[in-house]
Structure 1
Amino acid sequence: MADTAVVRPPADASAASAGDPGKSRRRREALNGYLFVGPSVIGFLVFILGPLLAVIYFSFTRYDAISPPQWRGLANFERLFTDDRLREAYLNTLIYVAAAVILINGIALLLAVLINQRLPKPLTLIFRSVYFFPSLVSLVYVSLIWQALFQRDTGLVNYYLDTVGGEPVNWLNSTSTSRWTVVIVDTWRNVGFAMLIYVAALQDVPKALTEAAQLDGAGVVTQFRRIIVPMISQAIFFNVTITVIGAFQIYESVIVLTNGGPGDSTRSVVMYLAEQAFSNFQVGYASAIAITLFLIILAATLIQFRIRRSWVHYE
């Protein structure tokens, strides 16, 4: 009979595996990964998910931040449909959103096209810096500056109107002009950021396409509509989405310029929400308003992502 070799397992398999350098390295890498993502996860749980769950709970209660919450079911949400001040605040906010999308993106795209022309590099850098600078300044400071400019008797805007023979305008205390004053300030402050996004997108448009269109006899308008707009459609989608989300949350400029007045003619939803929560101590009702605003912003964003398939082009 031939001899049969017998293979014996190690005396201590666990010790052998513990001494495996590959396994030890994988454990260290996993631990390092947990340590890196740990602060972000903790921050998300504490500052985003936790408050979100709290708001959902408070929206079904009557809570004044002093006494314990009292369960009210859907009473706060039913109140939303009968609140005339909230309805006007939503109307103002929708006007801000529409105006911001049209003005910010329209002016920013026009400036980007002008800056993208063949100008000396130092001049291009100066224009970019000048237009982008307002985006770096706090919105509160920007609003304070414009508040001084729009004063009826001492503001520079009315001073220059008077020099050209115009009548002084009560920019901040008139229901017909105060809302558009907020739009002007918000547009001036945010147009620079959108412009930089468009400039970057325009620089990625292949010059061969526009040169070929010129040889085929296409005019400037046709080139812009048929070539440039499709090529920068991703930047347009990004700017429009960011603008919509930001305009729905407009707050600082309104409270500094007009404090929501005269009456409620400039009051935004976020400002009305803050008033209910921190002035009237109706935290439960304010939470219901916050949830509806969150759902509206979410729906608007999802709609934009849905319809982008029909007009956003990818290379």
Structure 2
Amino acid sequence: MSNKVMTYKAMKRREMLTAYAFILPTFVGFVIFIVGPMLASFAISLFDWNMLTPPRFIGLANFQQLFNDSRIGAVYLTTFKLAFMIVPTNMILGLSLAVLLDRKMPGLVRSFFKVSFFFPFVVSAVAVSIIWTFMFHRDLGPFNYYLGLLGIDRIPWLNSSTYSPFAIMIADVWRNVGFYVLVFLGGMQAIPRDFYEAAEVDGASVWKQFRHITLPLLSPTILFLTVISVIGALQIFEQPQILTNGGPGDATRTIVLYLYEQGFRFFDMATPLRLRSHCL
């Protein structure tokens, strides 16, 4: 009996060692690339450092300045406003297009639309932003040209605090919505067709099938896309940097763009690091 117990303990110990061996590379990478930079950022944020003069220890004065800086609040507000515009648009439009693609159609046609929707996602965000800079041009852009044909005045898409956030949203959604379409479509195609056939036999309408079958079974997919959509929207950088450079004023200046400007335009390393520590 004792031999069996010892054998069982040895097997459990071997299993634990094997599990730790598999976890170790990820844990080491997490410590080196996540925990290490976090601690280094906090340590550097305790100094007054602009890359031109030696760092000078000032303790928590940087964080006090952070809370007293009214511009930080404006940057946060702009970031959350853009996220509030981008996330629902990507989710709703992506789901709607996925529902249309999930309908019965020739496979070649479905493949064409899938490639068409996903193609902008694989293109560089910088290239996409440059294209949209021309699209939104007040005098030469196609948007204002067609608005002019309808008798509507030209819109200053990139020079107005009212319209520039919508320009950022349109450029971001155009690039990323294809990813949401493919993920939603994959989730819907994984739902057993027997559920829909049974619902049709019971006389359920298309809307009821979508509401009571598709949406509940897509909830894990919706949660996953919501999380990554929020993360991506809060980290948006290329579109506001290229389209509007954060302007006019701070109308499209996001947190990441503000960090970039402080660190690489004004050589103030303490501000982005203390703001990063504050965000964490």
The verdict on a shared fold, with TM-score over 0.5 as the criterion, is yes
Please state if 1:163 is matched with 2:149. yes
Give 1:46 deviation, angstroms.
4.9
1:275 maps to a residue whose letter is E
Please state if 1:190 is matched with 2:187. no
1:281 to 238, 257, 267: 267
> Aligned runs of 1:60-209 on 2, under 5 Å?
60-209=46-195
Please state if 1:260 is matched with 2:246. yes
Distance 1:66 1:43, change over 3 A: farther
Q: What is the aligned residue count?
A: 263
1:256 maps to a residue whose letter is I
Give 1:50 deviation, angstroms.
3.1
SS, match of residue 65 in structure 1: coil
> Aligned runs of 1:209-248 on 2, under 5 Å?
209-248=195-234
Give 1:82 deviation, angstroms.
2.0
Over the residues paired in the alignment, what is the CA RMSD in angstroms? Answer: 2.1
Q: TM-score, normalised by structure 2?
A: 0.87
SS, match of residue 250 in structure 2: coil
Task: Determine the C-alpha separation between the residues in 2 that align with 1:214 and 1:282.
Answer: 64
Query: Which structure has the larger Rg over C-alpha atoms?
Result: 1
SS, match of residue 262 in structure 1: coil
Per-residue Cα deviation, 1:193-224 (whole angstroms, up to 9, x for no partner): 11110000000111111222222232222211
Moved more, 57-66 or 198-207: 57-66
Task: Determine the C-alpha separation between the residues in 2 that align with 1:98 and 1:154.
Answer: 30
1:175 maps to a residue whose letter is S
Give 1:43 deviation, angstroms.
5.6
Please state if 1:270 is matched with 2:256. yes
Identity of aligned residues (%): 41
Per-residue Cα deviation, 1:125-173 (whole angstroms, up to 9, x for no partner): 0000000001000000000000001000011111111122221111000
5+ long unaligned stretches in structure 1 = 1-25, 296-315
SS, match of residue 81 in structure 1: helix
Task: Determine the C-alpha separation between the residues in 1 that align with 2:33 and 2:191.
Answer: 41
Task: Determine the C-alpha separation between the residues in 2 that align with 1:219 and 1:67.
Answer: 70
Task: Determine the C-alpha separation between the residues in 1 that align with 2:201 and 2:64.
Answer: 63
Task: Determine the C-alpha separation between the residues in 2 that align with 1:69 and 1:49.
Answer: 23
Give 1:79 deviation, angstroms.
1.8
Per-residue Cα deviation, 1:9-63 (whole angstroms, up to 9, x for no partner): xxxxxxxxxxxxxxxxx9xxx9xx79xx76x777655544432221111122211
Aligned to 1:309: none
Please state if 1:291 is matched with 2:258. no
Task: Determine the C-alpha separation between the residues in 2 that align with 1:204 and 1:41.
Answer: 33
Give 1:247 deviation, angstroms.
0.7
1:205 maps to a residue whose letter is I
Task: Determine the C-alpha separation between the residues in 1 that align with 2:61 and 2:188.
Answer: 51
Give 1:105 deviation, angstroms.
0.6
SS, match of residue 59 in structure 2: coil
> Aligned runs of 1:15-94 on 2, under 5 Å?
46-94=32-80
Task: Determine the C-alpha separation between the residues in 1 that align with 2:249 and 2:70.
Answer: 12
